[in-house]
Amino acid sequence: MGEPGTKEVLNLEDLEASGGIRTGRKHVLSLLVENKPGVLARIAGLFARRGFNIDSLAVGPTDDDSVSRITLTVDGAAHPIDQVTKQLHKLVNVIKIRDLEPSDTVARELALFKISCQDGDARAQVMQFTEIFRGKTVDVSKRSVTVEITGVDDKIAAFEEMVRPFGLIEMVRTGEIAVARGRGAT
Amino acid sequence: MRAVDAIMECLKAEGVEHVFGIPGGANLPTYDALYDAGIRHVQCRHEQGAGHAAEGYAKASGRVGVALATSGPGATNLVTCIADAVMDSVPTVFLTGQVRTELIGTDGFQEADISGITMPVVKHSILIQDPRDIPKAIHEAFHIARTGRPGPVLVDVPQDLSRADIPYEPVAKVHLPGYQPTTEGNAKQIRLAAKALANARRPVVYGGGGVVNADASKEFRELCVSDPFPVTCTLMGLGAFPADHDQWIGMLGMHGTRAANYAMDEADLIVAVGARFDDRVTGKLSEFAPRAKFIHIDIDPAEISKNVPAHIPIVGDAKNILPKLTAEYRALGADSGRLEGWLARVRGWQEKHPLGYEDSSDSEIKPQYMVQAMFEASDGQAIVTSDVGQHQMWAAQYYGFTRPRQWINSGGLGTMGFGLPSALGAKVAQPDQQVVCLAGDGSLIMTVQELATCVEEQIPVKVFLMNNGYLGMVRQWQELFWDRRYSAVKMGHSPDWVKLADAFGAKGMRVTDKGELVGAFRDALAEDGPVLVDVRVTPEENCYPMIPAGQAARDMVG
């Protein structure tokens, strides 16, 4: 680049762009929001109008009445995650956002599977799978079994694959919730 | 105390002296409180007029503009203004009446879910559910509207709650755990930016509306003159740097100068201050400033790397950051000789491609000349508001703005009909300054009812109407890109504007001869009351130069 203009040399070519980068992996965002009407609508609306997709979303109370926890998962391949978090931060009712590191996070999801079981054999097999996946049988009828499975989404997907051949009547999932490992608050 | 009386106390505590609005059923209590609150209310003729007036007031003064409307249609008429204010970061508070709480959700008379409708276009909104929350909500609204990146805040107050009796105590401080804008700017980043600037050989400084919003024009100018950097501004930034300064290379973007766009194209370092790399500035994003690294100073972290990746982002208030950056840069003692070749190149573009047009050889009034005549008649000192279209771009090109808040227009949303009501608001904010609305004939008719407001409330704005009989910018695009198939762009039977002005009780004038234009403008400016000057300009004149939509700076035409 020839002679620099100052003794404090800095080659502009060495500067790297920050932000706007797609990570290509799933991100779990943990949000603390004010427990007020319309907050969820603001978040959902933000995602819709900025063209971000929510893969899953779970909302619930926290130990503090005035604050709710929202856990949502977003595909970091489809969107620059920093844009998602920065736009969320602009919402006045959003108090805190944490993009949880997968290796440093305990994540769980609960799923209910209603599986068709035409005979005792099928039922026995389904219940055996449930045992293996450390699930619980929560309802049984003449031709169906309902099972509860908790875990990370891979485990739930694996269970789904196992029981689908029996005839999956329906599946309901809560969406992932997560906390950071260790002593510190999420 | 009635909640509405508490609202008045809050408004006064926030320093509000003027509000714009229209009463209706759901905000009757508010208007009862307003009756003797000692706040001047400007009674507009349409809520959109009130909303834009509040914006014009805010843009001209830097203070929060306030508009009032009733529920349902009153509130929905504000939606365009709210969207406009969010796009241009205008500090505004919109106070709407809502139907009684027992009617909410029942499709009651004049019910509209205005907080739902406006959710995508507000900085924040508050639907009152407990009357005791009202004072806190009003103060929060003003705090949010004017701090950080400014914007519109809606407060929706159900009619019954606004009449409730509440204990009122002045609110000293608002506490919003989820809202803490960064204002300081990271010192390390500032140092790095100074170093990068000192090592740049083809730098450009690019200022946006954020410089004006931050009241940082002086600080911006100080940075710019630290060395003879070429300086450009966006449409919203015009006036942040004086157009008569020899470092000024003109506005950039779609209808900017060739010098500004070519400079961006070849720059090795761009210092963006309070600008958001809008598509009207960048053109084709992948070919925008391909050789440049970016220092991006903005108070809104979400703007950093949104459109163009920033190499040195600095989040904070430009008013704080710029003096530090200037001091750091000057301390480096960079050799300004490194810029000589670059400055000569930029100057070459300026000399080769000045803004220009072919003037008529007879009495015909070219639209560009009309702007120059306005400049001459007002000594370049007027506050100019505009509508949206060709006339807006010509004003941006030919009225050399020399100070911030002198140029008021709708940039982001591009709202036709913005000019007259915003001029009205600007004049209320700055009664000692000349306020001229440069209107288009397509735009003016959208909000012309506000002439009645100007007459009734004795707000002497001057409307200089660039009358070409067309929706001119759309016609230009149809001519250039749609094979001259002029579809629905001719204004056809427009009103007789002189008679219309007269009917409103304003003074109307018409000018068709170039030789009479400056004199007519001077006469209009000398009048005590509102004046509308109908100026007949060349019907089919195109606004150049131009980067066709989606193309790169290098593809400028005209």
* CATH number for position B134: 3.40.50.970
Q: How many domains does chain B have?
A: 3
Compare all CA atoms of chain B with the CA of A48 and give the residue at the minimum distance.
Answer: B120
Label each residue of B355-393 as H, E or C: CCCCCCCCCCECHHHHHHHHHHHCCCCCEEEECCCHHHH
Could you count the other beta carbons within 10 Å of the beta carbon of residue B180? 11
Residues B389 and B272 in one domain: no
- Whether this prediction's pTM lies above 0.90 is answered by yes
What's the ipTM?
0.89
Domain map (residue ranges) of chain A: 18-100, 106-180
Q: Please say which residue of B293, B320, B352 terminates a domain.
A: B352
Asked whether the predicted pLDDT for residue A93 surpasses 70, the reply is yes
Residues B403 and B466 in one domain: yes
Residues B133 and B220 in one domain: no
How does pLDDT run across A107-163, given as a tens digit for each residue? 999 999 999 999 999 999 999 999 999 999 999 999 999 999 999 989 999 999 999
Model pLDDT, residue A7: 67
- Distance (Å) from the C-alpha of residue A150 to the closest C-alpha of chain B? 32
- Distance (Å) from the C-alpha of residue A185 to the closest C-alpha of chain B? 17
Residues B37 and B68 in one domain: yes
Asked whether the predicted pLDDT for residue B473 surpasses 80, the reply is yes
Residues B329 and B276 in one domain: yes
Residue B233 included in any domain = yes
pLDDT band at A1 (very low <50, low <70, confident <90, very high): very low
User: Could you tell me how many residues make up chain B?
Assistant: 558
C-alpha of B381 from chain center: 18
The strand pairing partners of B294, in sequence order, are: B270
Residue B431 included in any domain = yes
**CATH code for residues A106-180:** 3.30.70.1150
Residues B495 and B445 in one domain: yes
Whether residue A42 and residue B332 make contact (CB cut-off 8 A), yes or no, is: no
For residue B545, whether the previous peptide bond is cis, meaning omega lies within 30 degrees of 0, is: yes
Mean pLDDT, residues B62-91 taken together: 98
Distances, alpha carbon B156 to alpha carbons A69, B122, B134, in Å: 26, 12, 10
Whether residue B305 and residue A4 make contact (CB cut-off 8 A), yes or no, is: no
Residues B64 and B138 in one domain: yes
Distance CA A73, CA A177 (A): 9
Residues B321 and B384 in one domain: no
Residue B172 included in any domain = no
Whether residue B269 and residue A2 make contact (CB cut-off 8 A), yes or no, is: no
Mean pLDDT, residues B212-220 taken together: 98
Compare all CA atoms of chain B with the CA of A95 and give the residue at the minimum distance.
Answer: B178
CA atoms within 13 A on the CB side of B178: 23
Q: Measured between beta carbons, which residues in chain A are less than 8 angstroms from residue B310?
A: 17-19
CATH fold for the domain made of A18-100: Alpha-Beta Plaits (3.30.70)
Q: Does A65 touch chain B (CB under 8 A)?
A: no
Q: Do domains A18-100 and A106-180 have the same CATH topology?
A: yes
Residue B176 included in any domain = no
Q: Which two tokens stand for residue B409?
A: 């227009």
Residue B548 included in any domain = no
Residues B453 and B515 in one domain: yes
Residues B29 and B143 in one domain: yes
Distance CA B287, CA B553 (A): 8
pLDDT band at A8 (very low <50, low <70, confident <90, very high): confident
Residues B221 and B113 in one domain: no
Owning domain of residue B235: 187-352
How does pLDDT run across A35-82, given as a tens digit for each residue? 998 999 999 999 988 888 899 999 999 999 999 999 999 988 888 889
Residue B493 included in any domain = yes
